[in-house]
Structures are given as C-alpha cells and as structure tokens.
C-alpha cells in the first residue's frame, strides 16, 4: 500500500484528506478486490452535511490505505447538487435526490449511489424536563412547523406525553436556512404524514417555512437549539447525540412510538423496493414496518454514469468498492448510521462499480 496519510480537519464544513500522520488504517486488510490504485490521486466533492461525520472518517481511512486524497466540502445537499450540475466537483453528495429537471441539466448522466442510511432527529431544549424523551406524531409536528401549535403546554403535546410536566412557554421553531437534504427528509416525512403540509408547504431541499429561525447546516441548527431554551428543530441523529440533545420518539405508520436507532432505521429500509434497473432514488420516509423509524433516508453520492475522464471514473469506482465492504460499513454503525442492507450493496456493485 502507498504511504499512509492522515486527516487534517479544521471543521465539519471543510474536510481535507491526506495531510500527515501515522495511525494505522481502520480496516486495512488488503486491497479488498478494488484493483490497483494511484498514490497521490485527488478527488473533490461537495454536498450534504447529514453524512459529513461519516465521510470524514471514511475519507481519512481511505487516504491512509490508498494515498488517494478526497477533499469534501459539507455545504448542504442543495449546494452539492448545484456544484455537481455545474461540473465544478468530481462528485456530489445529497440526502434529497435530484429532480428530473436537475438530472436533465446534466443530460441524464447521473447515478445516485446510496452510501448508508441515517435518521433525522426531532430535538428540543427544555431545561425543566432535561433529556426526557418526548413523543410526537406527524400531524402534530406539521402543525408545530406550520405555526399552529405555539406553546409547549399545548393539550395535543400533553396528550402524547401524559407523564411529563410541560412548561408554560412559547415554542421557537428552528429549521435549516440553506438547501438541505436533511430538510428534504424531514419535509418528505411531513408531507406523507400530513396532507395539509403537503398542500401548503410540500417537500424539498428548500421550502418556504411558515415560521421559525434558520440555521446553516446541521451544525447551525444544532447550535441554535443547544443555546436557546424553548426551541425545537430537526438534525441528523449524530449531531443530537454528540451534543447531548434529546431525540423524540415519533409515531410511525404502524402506530408505534419509535426512537431513532440503527435497528429502527434499518427497519425503515427493509421494505424499500429496489430493482436492478433502479436509479436508487427511493423514499423510505414513514415506512410501514412496526419497528420503522419514520424520518429515515438513504444518503447518496452523485457520480457520472458515463464519465469522459476515465482516470477519475476509475478512482471514484475504487472508492465505491471500498465503501461497500464490511469494514467501511461497520464504521457507519460506529457513528449511528445504519449500514446498507446486503441486497442494496449487491445492486450498487452491479450498477456503479465496473
């Protein structure tokens, strides 16, 4: 293997691999069938903050094992799609799949490659109850983010949380201010759970929020909630966990109140209908399984199906092969992302890896 290099990370918003170090490579048990690699090769990517903690870990490990540097800017899914369409990056990353119109802008030359599964956590800051896990359902969350439920002691919240003394305080909604796959996942769920939300706001990486304060990135929303009592927002699960913020239980389509966990996210993916000719753009929000966490999603890399740059195509293909192997998928579980189901891995191998 080429000489290993380490990760130099100044923040989650700028991930640059290969800047010194000598720690052993996680999972470096040989070539794992990915063929020869070129030391010193570099890829650039941009997009989702949702998987940024995992991509940081993956790209670090991959640089150590192969010498290939991957420079990733976690600017949000909207920015990742835009830069991919404009051709200013080698790959994009998104939690909200590209629309047909966006795909047409690159002449259909795009493949969504699922990497892992994750959960969007509904989190809040209520000092009087600490980290007590509150219960919500989709229609209640929709009405909160529509501005119809404005007090923490509202009777509808109380009905779902009969054993909690809720404070007589105003609620402050926090949402993403940037184009965001996390927003897509959350609004996709709200649109399925609340027809009114679907009519009035809808789903997307950016929507016209009826109320609330904006935060840039998962990091920005996390800090708004963490610093401001009375707030409620949505973030990728690892951001809630790493900041010791509570994650609510959400009533799923089967009527069960479910926490976001590896098991419940995997349960949401179990019924995903993926076929050999699929482009992998599939929603698993509000899945029907009894153990499914309803605000779950795949997250995707965006790559060119037919890349005229054959060296780049091979370098990306080698990384995808590596990412699909068990050691890399175990890294996902360590950071509370659910590894891809085996049938999905096999389909990705057939579609995205030559």
Backbone angles phi, psi at 241, to 5 degrees: -65, -45
- Res. 153: pLDDT tops 70: yes
Contact 316, 281 (CB under 8 A): no
Task: Tell me the C-alpha distance between 169 and 176, whole Å.
Answer: 23
**For a pLDDT cut of 90, what percent of the chain falls above it?**
73
Predicted confidence at residue 280, as pLDDT, reads 87
What torsion do the CA atoms of 189, 194, 196, 199 make, to the nearest 10 degrees?
30
The length of the chain in residues reads: 354
Predicted confidence at residue 41, as pLDDT, reads 76
Averaged pLDDT of the chain: 87
* Alpha helices (runs of H) in 99-179, residue ranges in sequence order: 100-104, 138-146, 155-160
The CATH code that applies to domain 120-269 is 3.40.190.10
Predicted confidence at residue 270, as pLDDT, reads 82
Contact 253, 287 (CB under 8 A): yes
∠ CA 42-47-52 to the nearest 5 degrees? Answer: 85
Backbone angles phi, psi at 132, to 5 degrees: -55, 135
Give the HSE-up count for residue 28: Cα atoms under 13 Å, Cβ half-sphere: 18
**DSSP state, residue 230:** T
Task: Copy the structure tokens of residue 320.
Answer: 């995808």
Predicted confidence at residue 353, as pLDDT, reads 72
The CATH T-level fold of domain 7-118+271-283+297-352 is D-Maltodextrin-Binding Protein; domain 2 (3.40.190)
- pLDDT bucket at 352, cuts 50 / 70 / 90: confident
- Res. 195: pLDDT tops 80: yes
In the chain, count H helices and then E strands. 13, 13
- Res. 9: pLDDT tops 50: no
How far is residue 59 from each of residues 47, 52, 70, 305, measured CA to CA in Å?
A: 15, 10, 6, 22
Contact 98, 160 (CB under 8 A): no
Among 21-35, 154-168, 176-190, 247-261, name the one with the lowest average pLDDT.
21-35
The residues facing 11 across adjacent strands are 14
Contact 302, 94 (CB under 8 A): yes
- Res. 265: pLDDT tops 80: yes
Task: Copy the structure tokens of residue 197.
Answer: 């939300």
Task: Tell me the C-alpha distance between 85 and 104, whole Å.
Answer: 10
Q: Which residue has the higher pLDDT, 120 or 31?
A: 120
Rg (CA), the chain: 20
Model-level pTM? 0.82
Predicted confidence at residue 248, as pLDDT, reads 98
Determine the average pLDDT of the residues in 149-177. 97
- pLDDT bucket at 275, cuts 50 / 70 / 90: low
Domain boundaries, the chain: 7-118+271-283+297-352, 120-269
Determine the average pLDDT of the residues in 347-353. 83
* Alpha helices (runs of H) in 67-126, residue ranges in sequence order: 77-86, 100-104
One fold for both 7-118+271-283+297-352 and 120-269? yes
Contact 243, 187 (CB under 8 A): no
**For a pLDDT cut of 70, what percent of the chain falls above it?**
87
């Amino acid at each position: 293997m080429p000489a290993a290099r380490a990760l130099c990370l100044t923040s989650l918003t700028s991930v640059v691999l290969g800047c010194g170090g000598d720690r052993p490579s996680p999972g470096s048990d040989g070539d794992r069938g990915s063929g020869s690699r070129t030391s010193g090769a570099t890829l650039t990517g941009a997009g989702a903050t949702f998987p940024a903690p995992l991509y940081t870990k993956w790209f670090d490990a991959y640089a150590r094992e192969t010498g290939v540097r991957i420079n990733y800017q976690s600017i949000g899914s909207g920015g990742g799609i835009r830069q991919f369409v404009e051709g200013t990056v080698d790959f994009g990353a998104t939690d909200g799949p590209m629309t047909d119109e966006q795909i047409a802008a690159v002449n259909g030359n795009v493949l969504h490659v699922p990497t892992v599964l994750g959960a969007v956590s509904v989190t809040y800051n209520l000092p009087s109850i600490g980290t007590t896990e509150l219960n919500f359902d989709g229609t209640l969350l929709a009405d909160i983010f529509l501005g119809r439920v404005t007090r923490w002691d509202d009777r509808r919240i109380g009905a779902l949380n009969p054993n909690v003394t809720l404070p007589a305080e105003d609620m402050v909604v926090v949402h993403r201010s940037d184009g965001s796959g996390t927003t897509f996942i959350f609004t996709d769920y709200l649109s399925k759970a609340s027809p009114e939300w679907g009519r009035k706001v809808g789903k997307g990486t950016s929507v016209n929020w009826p109320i609330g304060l904006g935060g840039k990135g998962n990091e920005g929303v996390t800090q708004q909630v963490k610093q401001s009592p009375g707030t409620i927002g949505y973030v990728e699960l690892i951001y809630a966990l790493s900041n010791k913020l509570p994650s609510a239980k959400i009533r799923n389509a089967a009527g069960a109140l479910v926490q976001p966990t590896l098991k419940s996210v995997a349960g949401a993916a179990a019924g995903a209908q993926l076929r050999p000719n699929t482009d992998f753009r599939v929603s698993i929000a509000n899945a029907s399984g009894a153990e499914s966490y309803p605000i779950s999603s795949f997250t995707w890399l965006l790559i060119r199906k037919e890349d005229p740059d054959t060296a780049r195509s091979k370098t990306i293909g080698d990384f995808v092969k590596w990412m699909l192997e068990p050691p890399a998928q175990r890294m996902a579980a360590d950071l509370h992302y659910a590894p891809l189901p085996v049938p999905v891995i096999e389909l990705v191998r057939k579609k995205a890896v030559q």
